Chain A
């Protein structure tokens, strides 16, 4: 029964990893950009939430009303101002610029907020749980997983059923032809980044409620998100959720053997899948 419990908790944590990964998957799909600062943006969202809560005394999840639009606007400006200039055939510029951005975000947050670790207090939500037949499900992990499912369903709907999604798919397939059809590629990319950072905002707030955070947590979150994307297969959002779940379960099992193996077990699961199925479990597109 304990094993079932470990797996169940792992599945639920996988929801959070899928939230880390969904934005990464979205922007790679639309513009083949791998944003090294993705994890640092999650941490930035956590700090913005902290400040919003200080100003408004809203509960953390309600603060999303402000954090999501703020992050989305930042994403739009970031893409138009900086990242769009790096997109061309060459791999190096976007990678290095986002790497520079990552260092700037980490040290900027350090300069403003110090290295002290923080946490958002969500009150009873953090401790409430439902128990049945020896299994116990925390309300927060369950809510996190449900949010991940909802976000991915919403992104999926947006991608395949709306005009914006059609613009994303067209630009992804062939940006030049899409421009001939009257789409402005720069604006399409900026909307994709805005959407990505909207999801990042949700991920950041859940991260901050679930555990302590500090300015240097970003790279670790980037790596979890990246692993979930690759395990699930490029271009498949539901696959990304499955990837997050596999990662969460692997980490849970690792931690059960020895707390020092938690993260390592996740990496090992990722490498095993890479060795056996290099394109991930459910690939829809090529890297």
Chain B
């Protein structure tokens, strides 16, 4: 009889886990050792990492390719500002509340956009985001089309300059690391098994008794809530919301999609690698303005055509790498 062992970790994955924990500990202490421009950049990195991880969960695993996630980013920001301005809610407390409200909003929205299949779902979700943007532009109490800044009285609730910058950074870190951990945990669980099965074949997973419609619905609502929490945080980073910026398809969806595609869709590592590539490109090429966006669009097309599984997918297939394993590996001993 053949002997075999079953494992879901490797030396690489244990090292990666250790490095991730050390990195996290170093970052938690960052407000004491880093400059405020570093905190700002790292906060933005965490935001994009979280958005990319969530979009990847939706599109990479359940085929729900949304081009309308900016709807929830903007919604989160607007809810946070409304709660803080009209009800005097502490801005930090407003973040989870924004997630809750967004989950409630996502229920009827899902009921509508889920009527559209495949690529039409993508554009339908975009229409939804446009509806949100146009409604926000009508909200005169929140500045209408030109938006509104958070008054100094509210920002003071976050403490002095150092404490405010530090707490916004910690919140970004918590959301970024939290989303990553949540998605990793989710994918290693029973639901993750279902999601991976759906990713690989919808027909086969239906035949195994997975209720695809229900899983997709639940996931869409979860991702909407988390995306709105990130949107709430973004509004605190910028201390301002306006319809065009808060519901920007380029900033909150196009770049996120490029990050996931370039890094590798349908993997945990892909969005991480993609975010690193995106920030490197931005640091070196942002001075070129429109040329930089031309380059980003071209890179996404080239990656999609040459290596559809992205940079990480290509490397993983070639070298068998896996830093955050969600599956099991069987090793036979004869």
A residues touching B (Cβ–Cβ < 8 Å)?
32-34, 36, 82, 85-86, 90-97, 99-104, 106-108, 110-111, 219, 222-223, 226-227, 230, 260-261, 263-264, 267-268, 270-271, 274-275, 278, 287
B304 adjacent to A100 (CB under 8 Å):
yes
Can you give 25 A-B contacts (C-beta < 8 A)?
A: A32-B118, A34-B119, A34-B120, A91-B65, A91-B119, A92-B59, A92-B63, A94-B119, A99-B254, A100-B298, A100-B300, A104-B294, A107-B294, A110-B290, A219-B249, A223-B123, A223-B126, A223-B127, A227-B127, A260-B137, A267-B130, A270-B127, A271-B128, A271-B131, A287-B118
Chain B 291-329 residues near chain A, CB threshold 8 A: 291, 293-294, 296-298, 300-301, 304-305, 308
B123 adjacent to A99 (CB under 8 Å):
no
- Return the contact of A260 from the options B67, B138, B301, B304 (Cβ within 8 A): B138
On chain B, the residues within 8 Å of A99 by CB distance are: 67, 254, 257, 300
A229 CB to nearest B CB, Å: 9
B115 adjacent to A223 (CB under 8 Å):
no
On chain A, the residues within 8 Å of B304 by CB distance are: 86, 93, 96-97, 100
On chain A, the residues within 8 Å of B117 by CB distance are: 287
A37 CB to nearest B CB, Å: 10
Residue of A nearest to B254 (CB): A103
Residue count of chain B within 8 Å CB distance of chain A:
42
Q: Is B261 an interface residue (CB 8 A)?
A: yes
On chain B, the residues within 8 Å of A227 by CB distance are: 127
Whether A34 touches B123, Cβ cut-off 8 Å, given contacts A104-B298, A108-B294, A111-B290, is yes
A78 CB to nearest B CB, Å: 12
Whether A97 touches B131, Cβ cut-off 8 Å, given contacts A34-B122, A107-B294, A223-B126, is no
- 8 further A-B pairs in the complex, CB-CB below 8 A; given A91-B118, A107-B297: A82-B305, A94-B119, A95-B122, A103-B250, A103-B254, A103-B293, A230-B120, A264-B138
Q: Is B124 an interface residue (CB 8 A)?
A: yes
B115 adjacent to A274 (CB under 8 Å):
yes
Whether A91 touches B290, Cβ cut-off 8 Å, given contacts A86-B305, A264-B135, is no
Q: Is B134 an interface residue (CB 8 A)?
A: yes
B131 adjacent to A264 (CB under 8 Å):
yes
Give bound CA distance, A100 to B308, whole Å.
Answer: 14
B289 CB to nearest A CB, Å: 8
- Return the contact of A278 from the options B115, B265, B300 (Cβ within 8 A): B115
- Return the contact of B308 from the options A34, A93, A102, A226 (Cβ within 8 A): A93
On chain B, the residues within 8 Å of A264 by CB distance are: 131, 134-135, 138
Give bound CA distance, A182 to B305, whole Å.
Answer: 27
Residue of B nearest to A272 (CB): B112
Give bound CA distance, A278 to B120, whole Å.
Answer: 12
- Return the contact of A97 from the options B63, B123, B135, B301 (Cβ within 8 A): B301
On chain B, the residues within 8 Å of A260 by CB distance are: 134, 137-138
A107 adjacent to B65 (CB under 8 Å):
no
Residue of B nearest to A227 (CB): B127
B293 adjacent to A267 (CB under 8 Å):
no
On chain B, the residues within 8 Å of A102 by CB distance are: 297
